Amino acid sequence: MTITTHRAPAFRVLLRAPTQGRAKLFLLGKKAPQGGPLIDTKTYACQGAAGSFYCKGSYEKLPAGTYTWRIAWVGVGKMPAHVELSVRW
């Protein structure tokens, strides 16, 4: 999903992914934070319940620009996953 902002946005995210596998959330763009995923279900402090991880994060204002959200899923075998992302700008 790609979003173009015209003002400096701060944002909150909620990532929901299965506990069987690994999800990584990236924010891409010229002015996006560098250095790897914003959320990685293997290393991030996620809450787990009923087979799902719930990962929350809040981020400071970024410069106006175009940003792309990308979720990388490494599942068990070739099993697809139901992954949900909620973003509040």
Measured from the Cβ of residue 83, the count of other Cβ atoms closer than 10 Å reads 19
Distance of CA 75 to the CA centre of its chain: 16
Contact 53/17 with Cβ under 8 angstroms?
A: yes
In the chain, where are the structural domains located? 2-88
Using pLDDT thresholds of 50, 70 and 90, give the confidence band for residue 77. low
Output the CA torsion sign for 73, 33, 57, 62. Answer: negative
Using pLDDT thresholds of 50, 70 and 90, give the confidence band for residue 1. confident
> pLDDT at position 78, please?
66
Retrieve residue 36's tokens: 């790897």
Contact 85/71 with Cβ under 8 angstroms?
A: yes
Contact 77/64 with Cβ under 8 angstroms?
A: no
- Average pLDDT rounded to a whole number, residues 7-18: 91
Using pLDDT thresholds of 50, 70 and 90, give the confidence band for residue 87. confident
